[in-house]
Chains A and B, each alone.
Chain A
Amino acid sequence: MRVELVKRKEHSRKMALLSPLIAVGLTAIAAGFIFSISGHNPLFGLYKFFIEPLTQEWSLNATIAKATPLILIACGLSVCYLSNNWNIGAEGQFVVGALFGSALPILMPDFESAATLPLMMAFGAIGGALWALIPALLKTRFNTNEILTSLMLVYVASLLLDYLVRGPWRDPGGYNFPESALFSDAATLSTVPGTSLSYAAPITLIVAVVLAVVLGKTIKGFEIRVMGESPRAGSFAGFSAKKLTLFSFAIAGGLAGLAGTMEVSGALNQLLPTISPGYGFTAIIVAFLGRLNPFGIIVAGFVLALSYIGGEAVQSAMGVSNKIASVIQGLLLFFVLACDTLILYRIRFVGRRGSAGEVSHV
């Protein structure tokens, strides 16, 4: 028996909505399976993992707080991926953006005014964009593969942060421990009054909405999508692949840098040797899970943040390994990718005797 793919005449709308649900369902089944193999009650595990975090206010807030940087970075990445620019270095852009953004409160701690935060965020975005432009320029000028260069720069960025936090930017009053001085209140991203969420959340939401508008309703958005699907058609229309590469990397780097600055200023209040538990890489999953669409990314970011919180919940309540979270994330991505095939293709099972043995269409 052979599996055959028959291209659909147009993308199946029904499947576009169903496939992520099927994927989540399959992931839940696989997760339950893993729970029971490791000797734990599968239903209890699934409840603790997926559902319980949503039932309490503090865990819901924690989930939103964790989802925010993921969504922001993924929005930027989606612009890159839609235009066939494979930016894998968002993690490094996050870090360098945070460094640029933290420069103001660390080097000029007495500069406390209403302008501090906006300046920090602007610097952060610029810093991230600059770091992202390195692999972009290498691609446009030397044709160097951007996957590898952007990835290598992640390591370099982490080492740069490490050097600064242990050396020149170390807190003079901190007993030589590798951390910068705590930021002043003027440099700390505060919470939205009435909630315990930082301003990062509404800012991210606004960015996502703006991006959706740009992608869907403007020429730029059209350009991004066309150049991704058919560069030749795009070049006939006058779009430049090189300029688009620079643009998309700059946007992605800028948003990642902004996310980094907001995280350091809001959640951490200082620079530490590690400021990201892998946001830049997880955001790649979020981008694909959200099918490179800002609203999908919001949902996907939330689901992925949920998987982190859920992972801690099962660890704490059931003694399940904390690796379960990353296994479930990997499985989710796999199933989403596999199920997405159903949107573009129809699966046909062909029997041994060829067309005489056709069995089923999906």
Chain B
Amino acid sequence: MFEAVLLTVITAATPLLIAAIGELVVERSGVLNLGVEGMMIMGAVVGFAVANQTGSGTLGVFAAIAAGMAMSALFGFLVLVLVTNQVATGLALTILGVGFSGLIGEAFIGIPGLKLPDLYIPVLSDIPFFGPVFFQQDALVYVSFALVIAVAYFLFRTRLGLVLRSVGDNHVSAHALGYSVIRIRFAAVLFGGACAGLAGAYMSLAYTPQWVENMTAGRGWIALALVVFSSWLPLRVVIGAYLFGAVSVLNLHAQAVELDIPSQLLSSLPYLATILVLVLISANRRLTLVNTPACLGKPFVPDR
């Protein structure tokens, strides 16, 4: 039974992980994109629609990534070229995404979906307990871990990653050194959009293979919280995502075991836990100051 619970936690944590790692890169470059929820849900609907029309889950996933990138490109244009307020623009992106996805998705409600198949690795998947948990997930779970490792390597072991971090910490100096702040940030924003779209695809193609209005149900906002929780360090995002996934799943198990606690209290635990964790992280000033991108959310206009 523990194995089964672990499997549920993995499926709950994966979309959070993917979306959060993308947003981490965006914020490391100095941009705050609150539109994660909107990009995720557009990814979910486009992924489902394309998979449904073409019969291919893979095509659906790629379409979802493209949708997320398109949304983030719109955001990038407004925030980086037209220098609009990042908070308001991100919110507008979310509102637009949720509404637009509902519009597109209308034709697809009530249709059974394509589920991404679990990968089966011979021999390894047959190991009792460890087998199914570690070696028999659908492809996107493995992609999520690969993404984290790739992002960690990129940010801290490559020159381009260093440049991106410097843009996030001090865009004036980076600009003076000759780096194109706008272009680097735009690329980061696009990457964040791709990840959000991918996370959305996971929702509609693996988690609950169908399309339902508003199916991301606030996960984009949780992903934003996870980035802060992780102090902008990639490996910590994994801890946060799995912790949050576990708390939300355990709420249901607690009910099935008939603990005598009001279900609304159990349902609110993930949110209260998020607040608690955020407070603990930010109260540690040293940790926060060292890792917060100093120029997060500040607009940059190259002066001529």
Q: State if A and B touch, Cβ cutoff 8 Å.
A: yes
Interface set, chain B 71-126, CB cutoff 8 A to A = 74, 78, 81-85, 87-89, 91-93, 95-100, 102-103, 106
Residues of B contacting A159 in the complex (Cβ-Cβ under 8 angstroms): 264-265, 267-268
Q: Are the C-beta atoms of B92 and A330 separated by less than 8 Å?
A: yes
* Bound form: Cα–Cα A7–B34 in Å: 26
Selecting from B140-148, B186-194, B278-286, the interface stretch reads B278-286
* Cβ contact of A144, chosen from B218, B265, B268, B278, cutoff 8 A: B278
- Beyond A86-B87, A285-B91, list 16 extra A-B contacts (CB 8 Å): A34-B103, A88-B91, A152-B225, A152-B274, A152-B275, A155-B271, A159-B265, A167-B262, A321-B103, A326-B98, A329-B99, A330-B93, A331-B96, A334-B93, A338-B78, A341-B84
A345 lies within 8 A of chain B by Cβ: yes
The residues of A that contact B206 with a CB separation of less than 8 Å are: none
A72 within 8 A of B: no
Expressed in whole angstroms, the Cα–Cα distance for A145 and B103 within the complex equals: 33
Query: How long is the Cα–Cα vector from A145 to B218 in the complex, in angstroms?
Result: 18
B19 at interface by CB-CB < 8 Å: no
B residues 3-21 touching A (CB-CB < 8 Å): none
| B interface with A by C-beta (< 8 Å) | 34, 74, 78, 81-85, 87-89, 91-93, 95-100, 102-103, 106, 218, 221, 224-225, 228, 262, 264-265, 267-268, 271-272, 274-275, 278-279, 282-283, 285, 288, 301, 303-304
Contacts of B74 in A (CB 8 A): 334
B102–A326 CB distance below 8 A: yes
Q: Which residues of A contact B78 (CB under 8 A)?
A: 334, 337-338
User: CB distance A151 to B221 under 8 Å?
Assistant: yes
- Is the C-beta of A143 less than 8 angstroms from some C-beta in chain B? yes
For the complex, what is the distance from the CA of A4 to the CA of B303, rounded to whole Å?
10
Q: Are A334 and B278 in contact (CB under 8 A)?
A: no
Contact pick for B95, options A153, A166, A285, CB 8 Å: A285
Q: Say whether B279 contacts A148, CB under 8 Å.
A: no
Decide yes or no: A333 and B275 within 8 Å by CB, A148-B221, A327-B100, A338-B84 being known contacts: no
A144–B228 CA distance with the chains assembled, in angstroms: 9
Closest Cβ of chain A to B293, distance in Å, is: 13
Specify which of A3, A149, A288, A331 is in contact with B88 (CB 8 Å cutoff).
A288
Any B CB within 8 A of the CB of A175: no
User: Once bound together, how far apart are the Cα atoms of A238 and B279, in whole Å?
Assistant: 28
